[in-house]
Amino acid sequence: MTTNFATSKVLCQAETLLVAIGASPESGDNGTMGKVPARRQRRRTPPVYIREWLRAFGLKPAEVARDAEVNEGYLSQLISGQKKSPSPAFLVALAAQMPQPFHYTKFYEPPPDDATLRALAAIDPALLPFLKPRH
Dihedral-angle region of residue 100 (phi above 0 means left; psi in -120 to 50 means alpha; beta otherwise): beta
Domains, the chain: 50-109 (1.10.260.40)
Q: What pLDDT, on a 0 to 100 scale, did the predictor assign at position 117?
A: 86
- Residue pair 54/64 in contact by the 8 Å Cβ criterion: yes
| Degrees, nearest 5: CA angle 8-12-17 | 150
57-83 pLDDT, tens digit per residue, is 999 999 999 999 999 999 999 999 999
- Residue pair 95/104 in contact by the 8 Å Cβ criterion: yes
pLDDT-flagged residues of the chain (< 50): none
Q: What pLDDT, on a 0 to 100 scale, did the predictor assign at position 114?
A: 87
Q: What pLDDT, on a 0 to 100 scale, did the predictor assign at position 54?
A: 95
- Residue pair 73/61 in contact by the 8 Å Cβ criterion: no
Half-sphere exposure of 127 (CA within 13 A, CB side): 6
